[in-house]
Amino acid sequence: MKLSLGFSPCPNDTFIFDALIHHKIDTEGLDFEVFYDDVETLNQKALRSELDVSKLSFHAFAHLADKYALLDAGSALGFGVGPLLICKNEELVNSEKLTMENSPLWVGIPGELTTANFLLGIAFPNLRNKQVMVFSEIENALLSDSIDLGLIIHENRFTYMDKGLYKVVDLGSYWEELTGCAIPLGGIVINRKLDHDIQLKVNRLIRKSVEFAFENPTSGIGFISSHAQEMDEAVMYKHIELYVNKYSIDLGTEGRKAIDIMFNMAQEKGIIPAVTKDLYVTK
């Protein structure tokens, strides 16, 4: 049986899925047609129900829980891993323009349905002038003065200072102080139309793939590097260490609690609709 599988070309995802898609583990009769896309493209594909299994931002998943269920394996949660709001003009750090009712500032965001944008809406609800762009283009947009603020994710958190840009706020730290929980960034979801046994099998295989990667950390280096061509190898490993952890093997009670808190908070603020179905693939 072949399933369509979407994940990003970022090192954390290629690290997780290398063993699965290259049959370094027993895939129990399953094959995967792989699509490499940035997270917002994957969010949009899921809205159209194009993929059987996909990486999604948790913000997007909140709008899609009727179509997809969340797997316990493969997620990106953690401490110190959140999106950063940055700027070129240091005067904007602690500026009243950030909180004024009709802020004139324009923010480059990596997607409407990203968790990053969700957190921005909680921390700075008055920053309403938003321009959606591919996450890797945000730094250059700041440098060219196309935008005033940039909401960065992934490896850009390691490179922005080298380009003379400044941190306004770490939204991951903001979340941690607010809730005491790890920040849920993205998870792996599966189409609810698939048989329950297939859902459980896919979860099992992704867990085995992550465990294989941890046990054999250099096994997928060629594959990972091929999708991170402009990234320094040291940065690539920092990226993996930051986003792949115990929650990537299994969400566990702590991981599920963080997700539930995020969803409850977002529902109370009217950011997402009420979710009526169980979020998770149950055993």
C-alpha closest to that of 132 among 117, 144, 143: 117
Residue 283: alpha-carbon gap to chain centroid: 25
Asked if 119 contacts 174 with a C-beta cutoff of 8 angstroms, the reply is yes
Question: Does 56 appear as a known binding residue?
Answer: yes
Question: Does 55 appear as a known binding residue?
Answer: yes
Q: What is the dihedral of CA 96, 101, 103, 108, to 10 degrees?
A: 110
Residues sharing a CB contact under 8 Å with residue 242, sequence separation 6 or more, in sequence order = 12, 78, 80, 81
Active site residue 239: no
**Given the residues 22, 59, 154, 196, the one annotated as active site:** 154
* Strand 2-7 to 53-57 pairing: parallel
Rounded alpha-carbon distances, angstroms, from residue 3 to 27, 34, 106, 191: 12, 9, 40, 10
Question: Does 4 appear as a known binding residue?
Answer: no
Would you give the end-to-end CA distance of the chain in angstroms?
Answer: 21
Indicate the DSSP class of residue 134.
-
Question: Does 57 appear as a known binding residue?
Answer: yes
* Residue positions forming the annotated binding site for substrate: 55-57, 115-116
* Residue positions forming the annotated binding site: 55-57, 115-116
Active-site amino acid positions: 154
